[in-house]
């Protein structure tokens, strides 16, 4: 995974590509304990307490900060983005993210769940790989939410697919792409 994927978007895939990037020995960067605490804020306490916590090391490789006992994996806030964007995902959502990061089709028939209870930084609602706001890529800001990924297209047909959605109500992000997913606010 390349650090060039730092896009300001906080969907899980972007987080996999950029999360962490820190070493505890660097005084300006968070310690492993701080990264774990950040990652645990992404999901409900009952999920986060037993989740595996991972972060990306300075070498670009994912490292496990804490092994969990459930099928969820949480990642801490990315300190290089403007707002909090920790996230936590189940096993199927992690496969979906890996497909996104690798520019590959998501695995068929694997419905996944992701939490971002701290919300997310700004992102394009129409272009999965947008790096910054540009004319026509419909940059948005999300508050605390969860995401459903990997659903059949018929599922997403039940929700708004507006390029500039009302982020206070459920909507489909990246509609019409292989990476479309439901964004569901929590508040």
DSSP code at position 4: G
User: CA 29 to CA 80: how far, in whole Å?
Assistant: 11
Structural domain range at position 74: 3-185
pLDDT digits (tens, 9 = 90+) for 137-174: 788 888 899 999 999 999 999 999 999 899 999 999 99
Q: CB neighbours of 14 closer than 8 A, spacing ≥ 6?
A: 5, 6, 7, 123
pLDDT of residue 28: 62
**DSSP calls for 83-141:** S---EEEEHHHHHHHHHHHTT-PPPTT--EEEEETT-EEEEESS-TT--S--TTS-EEE
Give me the mean pLDDT over the 178-183 stretch. 96
Above 60 in pLDDT, residue 18? no
Question: Domain tally for the chain?
Answer: 1
Q: What is the pTM of this model?
A: 0.82
């Amino acid at each position: 995974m390349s650090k060039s994927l730092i896009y300001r978007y906080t969907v899980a895939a972007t987080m996999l590509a950029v999360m962490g990037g820190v070493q505890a020995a660097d005084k300006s960067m968070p310690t492993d304990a701080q990264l774990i605490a950040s990652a645990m804020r992404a999901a409900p306490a009952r999920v986060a307490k037993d989740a595996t916590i991972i972060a990306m090391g300075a070498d670009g490789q994912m490292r496990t900060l804490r092994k969990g006992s459930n099928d969820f994996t949480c990642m801490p806030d990315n300190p290089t983005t403007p707002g909090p964007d920790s996230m936590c995902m189940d096993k199927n959502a992690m496969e979906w993210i890996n497909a996104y990061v690798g520019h590959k089709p998501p695995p068929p028939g694997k419905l996944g769940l992701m939490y971002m209870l701290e919300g997310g930084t700004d992102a394009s609602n129409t272009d999965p790989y947008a790096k910054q706001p540009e004319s026509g890529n419909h940059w948005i800001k999300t508050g605390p939410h969860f995401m459903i990924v990997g659903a059949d297209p018929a599922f997403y047909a039940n929700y708004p697919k507006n390029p500039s959605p009302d982020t206070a109500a459920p909507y489909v992000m990246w509609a019409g792409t292989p990476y479309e997913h439901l964004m569901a606010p929590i508040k």
